[in-house]
Structure 1
């Protein structure tokens, strides 16, 4: 957050001092810390804000993207064409609801090599259309929520708690935890961490020293009990998870054989 505010302030200063010959376009979600930064008197006078609404006008682009990417998956798995059929493709586009992030996640989910195969994955996504049609939620990402629920439901029960711990460890306030320290915190070997994270291949990836989420909406979902339900890692739903994680974090911080890396500060 601090780094994002600093970047905006540096850009604003360059505009005031005419040190760069650019017109700057900054795209972001409506994050409170960025809203406050842009509303500050020093910056608001030189900026113009435009809110981009989700639009079904890009359905043709989403259709082309899904067609091209799923064709590659079909060829890789030697699935007879045409696949997906026209009806299923239409369902995927409707479920996407004008959100490219939904289409991106669908492609990664269907192409997951740790599944029973693309055809099974496709059937699972298409089946969401029934649940979405019956839902009465007014949340703008309700279709995406159903998809995220499907992803979490496919995490094997025996490693679900480990997956929730990993997600929670990436979101502990005031604690910077890289992949190595995440493993130390949770008592996982490199292969165990990779195996657990592979179950969430559609929404995140493990890089050399960090866990990276493809879109911030997934962790928003995981922290909202009304959206993620029994999978929530925050508020009352995740209290037991956080209590044990706090104990593990304290043990790691106090271990003389492990380089200190954090100041314990877990908010409830």
Structure 2
């Protein structure tokens, strides 16, 4: 058959991306909402679709973090529309499927379904294609007008006397953010809003996407916002309760159907383990779904697979989070300033800091720089009220695992070294430094020649050195300096302790000058006990019950903390001499008292 003899409907079929249908056979086991979950969300959307009295909005934007379950909800809505006789056309974008990750087949795919679901539409659409055989080479707006809007106008769709369904025509577009090119995504939304704003046709659009910044901007525009209802998949809809139900149902199903069911303890899994999985999901269904798929392997013991997920058994050749990792890697591949984003995330994760203004101050960044650096990661984290909120609790696990994150790996030793060097660099410039922050970095740093030189040049001054809290007692402040010395000695520079001895002399001089009335409160046994506790990896009070707590101004005879009210020397009485167990091991290091006396 030559092109001249190809009819309009046949041309339409050739332009369709059939894999994008909500009921396509090519979408094997498409995600859909688990029974008795997402009920409030589904009810809200279906109410918006079916409640046509005094309608104010024509577009519903379903937004949520990566893996929040948007596609499952869109799929369930499409299924519900079919069941209720609501005329429907859908397009499910998917980034790794070349047939449905571009705009080119979008209108043709929607028009094909329109031709099947609206009486008379097939003839009208075929006629439009025969009139303009090159219509599929035209713009999105031109195609939509020629193949959707004009055929519906000719049919009188939605008018009281027309032979059309009583429900509006619903277009479901899922995964808009997975369409290649951001400008194209924005253009699709703008053109839809423009066409809907100029017509009285009963057409609704359900658009599901991540809340990427460029899409948020276009949905916030006046032209779109006036037609828009927003539905964000946040804590309002209690996702943890739905995830808990999903996990419990799936664990029960595994115990009933798995080939190794007779080997599974009836009490498995523990309730605590299920709730840990819920917490790790952070309200996003993808984590729980990936875990269940991993446990369902018919040739492996589910309980052992769960232990792999929990980190209680080595992973070996298993890849429990392959699907989740692929999602994370794709998201990071789209980040404009990757190194800037990884630097901010490295500090946030390794230092346990989530306040954006604190990170900006410590890393000497401009106001708002953290939010800008993380702008392309809004599908996995958000910056709200000066706080970084991780939408996926599993994201730090991914970034700290080199096998999972690959080129996006945050190497703790490398970054701690960089942050320690940054601390010294800022200090040289006369900026205040928090000694506790430096200690943490030094304890995990690599002993590089550059870091060694930074430590050798370090000269503490009372005007620059900050301690963790302004109300620390003098003994606690001295102990922080001692912790700094321990961190320096633990760095094996291979110089026979030259750096350590140098800093020891510097710190002694600083202590004598800054705390002339308080350095005598620390005796050798207390300091030795502190060192032993560190060497044993035991920071509990049991290793040194007489040692004052860091961050608390407390004498040995006091029963309550005595907060210091100023930066002046602590007027409280010195610590009493403790009774020391003669059998307690002592460090080979000198005590601070010996250094001071020496």
TM-score range for the pair, normalised by the shorter chain length: 0.3 to 0.5
The higher-RCO structure (CA 8 Å, 6+ apart) is 1
Q: Which has the higher strand share?
A: 2
* Structure-1-length-normalised TM-score: 0.47
Which one has the largest radius of gyration? 2
